[in-house]
Structure 1
Amino acid sequence: MPSYDPNNIFARIIRGELPAERIYEDDRTIVIMDIMPRSDGHALVIPKAPSRTFLDMAPDDIAATYATAQRIARAAMTAFGADGITIQQFNESAGGQVVFHTHIHVLPRHDGVALRPHTGQMAAPEVLAAHADKLRAALVEPG
C-alpha cells in the first residue's frame, strides 16, 4: 500500500494552509463542505490524525470520525429537509478514492432526486457558504 502524503489537500486544510468552508471542528475531526457537491449540503468529515485510508486508521479515530459523521448527518437531515442520508467512504483508487487522506462523505438526499454527477465543476463559493450556514445552524450538542 502506498504511504501517506502529509501534503495532501486535506492535511493542508487541517493545518490551515488552504481555505475551506468549515462547518465543525473538534480535537479529532474537521468537517468541511465538498467543493464539488453531489447534493445540496454535501459535507466531508475528515479525521485530523494522518491516515491514507480507513484501513490504516486507529480504532479511536474511526470512532471519533463516525461519531462526527452521525452528528453532521442529523444536522443535514434538519437543515436540508432531507428524506435520507447517504454516507460514502472510498479506499484507494480502485475503490473510488481521489484524495488520499481518509474522509467520509455525508450527502443529504431527497426522494426521487438522483445525486449530481461528479463532473469536477466547483460550486460557487456563495452557495457553499449558504449551505455551511444551514448546517452550522442545525448542529446540536451530542447527547
Structure 2
Amino acid sequence: MSDQCLFCGIVAGDLPGVKVAEDETTFAFMDIHPASDGHLLVVPKRHSRDLLDIPAEDLAAVTLAAQRIAKVAVEELGADGVNLLNCCGADAWQTVFHFHLHVVPRYVDAAKDRLILPWQPGVPADIDTVSSRGERLRIALAEDS
C-alpha cells in the first residue's frame, strides 16, 4: 500500500468510496466521475502503479472480478453492453497511478451513457504499417519468452 495513493486510501477505508465488492485480492468501488450509469473501478488491494507493474496473479484476479461485476451490471442495471478499460501512463489518460480496470456499463439510452469513442472504428489503417508493427511485436515477444 502506498501512503500517497488515492486508491490505496479508499481500499484501506481512510478515504470515502462506495464499495461494490471485495475479496482477498481485489476491491471494487463506484467511479465518482462516471462515463455511464453504474461505472465503477476494480483495483488490486496490493499497490501496483500500472499495467506494466502489476503482478500476473493480481492482474488475473482483477480481470476475473471485473468480468463477474460486468455480468451483474448487464443483469441488474439493464446495460446493453460493457467496456473494460485500462489506461497505462499519463499519455494514455491514466490519472491515478494505481492499476485499475474501469467497468463501464453501456446503454443505448444516451441519458445513461456519456461515453463516446475517441477514434472511429472501421477506418482502415495502412496495411503495410500494420504488418510492419505486428512483425516487430512478434519478434520482440518471441525473444522475450
The normalised TM-score by structure 1 is 0.75
Identity %: 41
Tell me the equivalent position of 1:116: 114
Q: Would the aligned equivalents of 2:107 and 2:113 in 1 still touch at CA under 8 Å?
A: no
Q: Which amino acid aligns with 1:54?
A: L
How many residues are paired up?
A: 115
Alpha-carbon RMSD across the aligned residues, in angstroms, is: 2.0
Tell me if structure 1 keeps the 8 A contact 2:36–2:106.
yes
Gaps of 5+ in 2: 116-145
- 2:66 matched residue in structure 1: 69
Among residues 16, 20, 33, which one is paired with 1:19 in the alignment?
16
Given that residues 6 and 50 in structure 1 are in contact (C-alpha distance below 8 angstroms), is that contact kept between their aligned partners in structure 2? Answer: no
The answer to whether the 8 Å contact 1:38/1:115 transfers is yes
State the 1:55 CA deviation: 0.7
CA offset digits 1:16-54 (Å, max 9, x no partner): 110100000011000000011110000100111110001
**Which residue matches 2:52?**
55
AA aligned to 2:54 is M
Residue aligned with 1:56, SS: coil
Contact between 1:5 and 1:100, CA under 8 Å: does it hold in 2?
A: no
Residue 92 of structure 1: how far off its partner (Å): 0.9
Whole-Å Cα distance in 2 between the matches of residues 53 and 42 of structure 1? 20
**Is residue 87 from structure 1 mapped to residue 84 from structure 2 by the alignment?**
yes
Q: Which has the higher contact order (CA 8 A, sep 6+)?
A: 1
Partner of 2:52, secondary structure, is helix
